[in-house]
Amino acid sequence: MSEQISPTGSARDRVFAAAEKISAERNPTVSSVREAAGVSNADATRYLKAWREESAVAGSRIVATPQPLLDQAARLAGSVWADAVALAAEQHAALEARWVKEGQDKDTELAELVADLDRITNKNTADAAALNAELVAAVSRAQDAEERARQAETAAERSRSDAGTLATDLAAARARADTLQQSHDALLQRITPQADETASKK
């Protein structure tokens, strides 16, 4: 149950007071105003209508703001908006500068990475060329060594063949020498007795 308004004052004042108090929490009705103000249903209806009309007029007066105040509010809003725009532009410029700086840093870093990659690639290419040259030289040396070994083997084979031929020739020479020696010895044996006979006849 709503708290009742003090019974002092006119019915109109009590209805207005009750309506003001009830409107703070909810929409006042004839029944709630009548109970709170302690007035008749007719007074509650009539004065609640009057209260609503005055409230509407008061609201209209509030809405109809004086032009100087509107101008001042417009200037204030314009100033606030200008400050907000300037702040936003400043922040945007700072962000853009930071993005540009980060972009430049990334470009620099990328350029350094590309330079490092080029340097490493060139070094690897040079190292590969040097290794390839060493490999070619090693293969050439191996081929030369193989050729010399083959030539040495051929020379050794020729030497063995020559040694065999010489051994055969030597054996043949020895055989001829032995034959000659035997012939010489036989000849000497034939000659020696005739010499002895001749000497004895003298």
Q: Give the model confidence (pLDDT) of 53-94 as tens digits.
A: 999 887 766 555 667 776 887 788 778 888 877 887 899 888
Rounded Cα distance, 154 and 161, in Å: 10
Give the mean model confidence (pLDDT) for residues 189-196.
Answer: 72
Distances (CA, A) of 146 to 133, 154, 160, 180: 20, 12, 21, 50
- Predicted local distance difference test score (pLDDT) of residue 65: 63
Q: How many CA atoms lie within 13 A of 7 on its CB side?
A: 2
Query: Is this model's pTM higher than 0.85 or not?
Result: no
For every residue of 47-76, DSSP letters joined together read: HHHHHHHHHHHHHHHHHS--HHHHHHHHHH
| Residue spans of alpha helices (H) in the chain | 11-23, 30-37, 41-63, 67-201
- Predicted local distance difference test score (pLDDT) of residue 197: 61
Q: What is the pLDDT of residues 17-47, one digit of tens each?
A: 999 999 999 999 999 999 999 999 999 999 9
**CB distance 52 to 28 below 8 Å:** no
Instruction: List the domain boundaries for the chain.
Output: 11-65, 88-181
Q: What is the band of 163 on the pLDDT scale with cuts at 50, 70, 90?
A: confident
Rounded Cα distance, 8 and 41, in Å: 18
Give the mean model confidence (pLDDT) for residues 88-105.
Answer: 86
